[in-house]
């Protein structure tokens, strides 16, 4: 009986899903894990991993055609879980590329946009970012101040975006802006005059992730770079639903990493003549970790089933993101405490996970936002 999968949910996955999971797990263990502690310390995303991520064939995993693998929702879930077992920054890189860049192109893009960008993005020959959040109103995406004005055959884009994952790495930005016809989506290429990405430094969280501010100084974007099917706020919010689904699974990986670390440490660390794991206090704390992780895994698995069946509701995703990230953050903090003084170094991952999760619990919807989404779903009243 595995403490990381106490109810044996992994046995319910298909053979293909298990193969995907083992492939990504091996990549994380052998290639990513040795680089991540230093990447976190130095505040840089390990860019040498990008070609290897592309070669894994996991980018845009749920998209069919255009060089994408066309996997199911559960496969995407275990991909995110294994990546975040390494580091939230690693999962964020793939989540943005797959759910926030490739998904909107596949869903709202023209055939020419799909044919040009999706194969490159799938192979990681091009990197993308998602420009929705702005400095003045992260939880109120309808209050966008970035504007696009049609001038002949081009759109003149002016404004800025904040807290953009992959921002300085990106060859392409999916940018959302106000127009005279409402919110629209645009594909902004890195070499377009007036477009600039500036790295955000001095972070205490998600340090092994590229985070940037984007600036648009009268950027001329051709009409053929507008996403023709993206109209209104519903389009970017649908992208966030896809990404939040991955986060609900990713949190399981961070929690697993912390639990495995604590089990190994407390079994070998002796105080007062016996292993820490042999004491009632430590066993109760570890049992609580297993309880919380098991419930979150059941939640994520059911969410994946609903997604594959086409029955997924955004409120269900909000509940899972809210619950599972909170679960992982509490386990990471508890694990750090059980490690004692050793837990403050990068030799052990729990504090790194805890610091990362302080961002994950906020981005793509704070806990309060997700509570209100669930509240609206069950009461019928909009309290926003």
Catalytic residues: 364
Cβ atoms of 364 and 237 within 8 Å: the answer is no
Q: Which residues, listed in sequence order, are joined to residue 189 by a DSSP beta bridge?
A: 172
Burial tier of 218 (Cβ tally within 10 Å: 0-12, 13-18, 19+): exposed
Question: Within 10 A of 137 (CB to CB), how many other CB atoms are there?
Answer: 13
d(CA 60, CA 249): 16
What is the rounded CA–CA span in Å between residue 366 and residue 321?
A: 10
Considering only CA atoms, which of 164, 177, 242 is closest in space to residue 210? 164
**CA–CA–CA angle 156, 103, 97 (5° rounding):** 85
Range 10-14 contact pairs with CB under 8 angstroms and sequence separation of 24 or more: 12/301, 13/74, 13/78, 14/72, 14/74
Q: What angle do CA 32, 36, 41 make, to 5 degrees?
A: 165
Within 10 Å of residue 140's Cβ, how many Cβ atoms? 11
């Amino acid at each position: 009986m595995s403490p990381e999968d106490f109810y044996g949910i992994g046995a319910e996955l298909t053979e293909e899903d298990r193969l995907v999971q083992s492939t990504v797990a091996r990549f994380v263990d052998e290639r990513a894990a040795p680089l991540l502690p230093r990447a976190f310390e130095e505040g840089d995303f390990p860019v040498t991993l990008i070609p290897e991520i592309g070669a894994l064939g996991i980018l845009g995993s749920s998209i069919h055609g255009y060089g994408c693998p066309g996997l199911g929702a559960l496969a995407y879930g275990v991909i995110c879980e294994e990546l975040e077992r390494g580091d939230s920054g690693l999962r964020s890189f793939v989540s943005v590329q797959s759910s926030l860049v490739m998904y909107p192109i596949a869903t709202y893009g023209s055939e020419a946009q799909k044919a040009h960008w999706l194969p490159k993005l799938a192979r990681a020959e091009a990197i993308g970012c998602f420009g929705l959040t702005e400095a003045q109103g992260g939880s109120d995406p309808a209050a966008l101040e970035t504007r696009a004005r049609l001038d002949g055959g081009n759109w003149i884009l002016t404004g800025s975006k904040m807290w953009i994952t992959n921002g300085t790495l990106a060859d392409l930005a999916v940018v959302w802006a106000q127009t005279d016809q409402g919110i629209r989506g645009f594909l902004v290429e890195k070499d377009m005059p007036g477009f600039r990405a500036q790295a955000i430094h001095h972070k205490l969280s998600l340090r092994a992730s590229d985070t940037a501010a984007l600036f648009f100084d009268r950027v001329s974007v051709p009409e053929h770079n507008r996403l023709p099917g993206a109209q209104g706020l519903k389009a970017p919010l649908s992208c966030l639903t896809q990404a939040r689904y991955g986060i609900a699974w990713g949190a399981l990986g961070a929690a697993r990493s912390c639990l495995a670390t604590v089990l190994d440490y407390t079994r070998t660390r002796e105080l007062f003549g016996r292993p820490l794991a042999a004491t009632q206090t430590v066993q109760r704390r570890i049992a609580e970790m297993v309880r919380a992780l098991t419930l979150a895994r059941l939640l994520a698995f059911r969410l994946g089933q609903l997604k594959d069946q086409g029955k997924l509701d955004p409120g269900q995703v909000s509940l899972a993101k809210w619950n599972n990230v909170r679960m992982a953050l509490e386990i990471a903090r508890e694990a750090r405490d059980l490690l004692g003084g050793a837990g403050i170094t990068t030799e052990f991952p729990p504090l790194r996970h805890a610091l990362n999760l302080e961002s994950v619990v906020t981005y793509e919807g704070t806990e309060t936002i997700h509570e209100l989404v669930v509240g609206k779903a069950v009461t019928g009243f909009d309290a926003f």
